[in-house]
């Protein structure tokens, strides 16, 4: 059972390995949503995510015999680092099975804490099945990343900290993968104040909890498809499902495109790097049917590799019309490129890429294609640039940027 006594115990235990993550007030998102928005920045933990809480507390409850066998778990990345870090603190061997699609930064950091990493399967569920096989074969002690009440208790310490710092909180938004974090946070929040509404947030492409709640039983999705790799889970936890049904007030889903925009917003307005799974609660803010409420979004982690970060930034700029590409047809004669550049310069557009194609027509005097990729201030500025090109007779066509 998840009890207040155990949550209080866990809150003291996890202080040994966690950073203090004070709430961060967001003026930007407060103005955007009409609520008072705060962030719980678990992306600032030493391991880059909240998962160290559940891992460390769970290991603290194990017998010496269980520790001596060595530990094994499966994870898309953050639980892996949590277990590896906690195991190192206890001087215990740890084997981590991770999907082959796990970002390199998460794999390398897990190894850096001294854990043995095994890459297996395309998604978490396949990695987990393999971890169980290894546990049976080698006799390791298995620590489940979410379907374990001890793990959920450790994760729930986040709610204790939120309520202590913001006693009159109205809403807590929490990311959902398998449901361990949501179980701990929602259960403890309701114990401390039944009026607090706790909302789970899932990626639309991996909404296993939403489907399971609708069906009234744990349901496995046929597949998952989302950039939020930390929450790409096909089946919510069996043991924790009753707590999720009882204590979560609702489950919201968000699209991957919304996560891309949320990443850009967090970098520009808060100078924070938050991974896609952690951004679920940020993207969900605009879906929340509330006004004038105190809302806390849990930022579950910040372990994003630089290549992914670069791609997300570029996509975000494109979605915000900060980068766009137009195609114009020009006569193939000297001076035409200067004329187009002058129109763009007069509207304060910034050219970042040019592609000149002389082979779109056999009559080069009639049509040479010029593709121009530009930076703009946003949708209105983009529209002004396109209209200026229209007025000069260039008949620009908008095409998807290729950066």
Rounded distance between C-alpha atoms, residue 297 and residue 102, angstroms: 25
Q: What are phi and psi of 376, to 5 degrees?
A: -135, 170
Instruction: Give, to the nearest 10 degrees, the angle between helix 180-192 and helix 4-13.
Output: 120
Q: Which residues, other chains included, contact 318 with Cβ-Cβ below 8 Å and sequence gap of 6+?
A: 324, 400, 401
Rounded distance between C-alpha atoms, residue 268 and residue 289, angstroms: 25
DSSP state of 140: P
Burial class (CB in 10 A: 0-12, 13-18, 19+), 9: middle
Instruction: Give, to the nearest 10 degrees, the angle between helix 336-346 and helix 379-391.
Output: 140
Instruction: Output the six-digit token pair for 367.
Output: 């049509």
Q: What are phi and psi of 294, to 5 degrees?
A: -90, 115
In order of 7, 148, 153, 187, 242, the CA distances from 1 in angstroms are 11, 11, 10, 11, 11
| Residue 54 near residue 151 (C-beta atoms within 8 A) | yes
Q: What are phi and psi of 383, to 5 degrees?
A: -60, -35
Among 51, 190, 197, 234, the one annotated catalytic: 51
Among 186, 212, 277, 300, the one annotated catalytic: 300
Catalytic status, residue 300? yes
Angle (nearest 5°) at CA 329 between 326 and 335: 105
Q: What are phi and psi of 98, to 5 degrees?
A: -125, 145
| Residue 48 near residue 31 (C-beta atoms within 8 A) | no
Rounded distance between C-alpha atoms, residue 372 and residue 352, angstroms: 8
| Residue 274 near residue 302 (C-beta atoms within 8 A) | yes
Point out the residues that are catalytic.
Answer: 51, 300
């Amino acid at each position: 059972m998840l009890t207040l006594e155990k949550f209080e115990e866990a809150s003291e235990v996890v202080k040994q390995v966690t950073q203090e993550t004070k709430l961060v007030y967001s003026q930007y998102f407060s103005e955007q949503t009409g609520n008072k928005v705060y962030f719980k920045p678990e992306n600032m933990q030493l391991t880059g995510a909240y998962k160290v809480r559940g891992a460390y507390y769970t290991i603290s409850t194990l017998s010496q015999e269980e520790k001596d066998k060595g530990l094994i778990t499966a994870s898309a990345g953050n639980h892996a680092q949590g277990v590896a870090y906690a195991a190192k603190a206890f001087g215990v061997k740890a084997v981590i099975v991770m999907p082959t699609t796990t970002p390199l930064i998460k794999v390398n950091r897990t190894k850096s804490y001294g854990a043995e990493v095994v890459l297996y399967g395309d998604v978490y569920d396949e990695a987990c099945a393999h971890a169980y096989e290894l546990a049976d074969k080698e006799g390791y002690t298995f620590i489940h990343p979410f379907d374990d009440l001890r793990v959920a208790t450790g994760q729930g310490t986040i709610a204790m900290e939120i309520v202590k710092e913001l006693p009159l909180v109205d809403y807590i938004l929490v990311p959902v993968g398998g449901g361990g974090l949501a179980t701990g946070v929602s259960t403890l929040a309701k114990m401390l104040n039944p009026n607090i509404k706790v909302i789970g947030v899932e990626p639309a492409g991996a909404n296993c909890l939403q489907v399971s709640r609708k069906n009234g039983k744990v349901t496995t999705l046929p597949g998952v498809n989302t950039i939020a790799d930390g929450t790409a889970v096909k089946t919510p936890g069996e043991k924790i499902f009753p707590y999720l049904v009882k204590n979560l007030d609702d489950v919201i889903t968000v699209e991957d495109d919304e996560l891309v925009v949320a990443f850009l917003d967090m970098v520009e307005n808060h100078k924070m790097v938050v991974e896609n799974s952690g951004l679920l609660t940020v993207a969900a803010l605009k879906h929340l049917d509330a006004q004038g409420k105190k809302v806390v979004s849990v930022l579950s982690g910040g372990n994003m590799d630089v290549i992914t970060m670069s791609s997300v930034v570029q996509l975000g700029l494109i979605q915000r019309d900060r980068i766009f590409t137009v195609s114009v047809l020009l006569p193939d004669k000297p001076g035409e490129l200067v004329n187009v550049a002058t129109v763009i310069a007069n509207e304060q557009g910034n050219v970042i890429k040019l592609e000149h194609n002389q082979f779109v027509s056999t009559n080069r005097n009639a049509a040479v294609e010029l593709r121009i990729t530009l930076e703009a201030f946003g949708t209105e500025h983009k529209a002004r640039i396109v209209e200026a090109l229209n007025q000069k007779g260039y008949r620009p066509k908008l095409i998807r940027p290729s950066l």
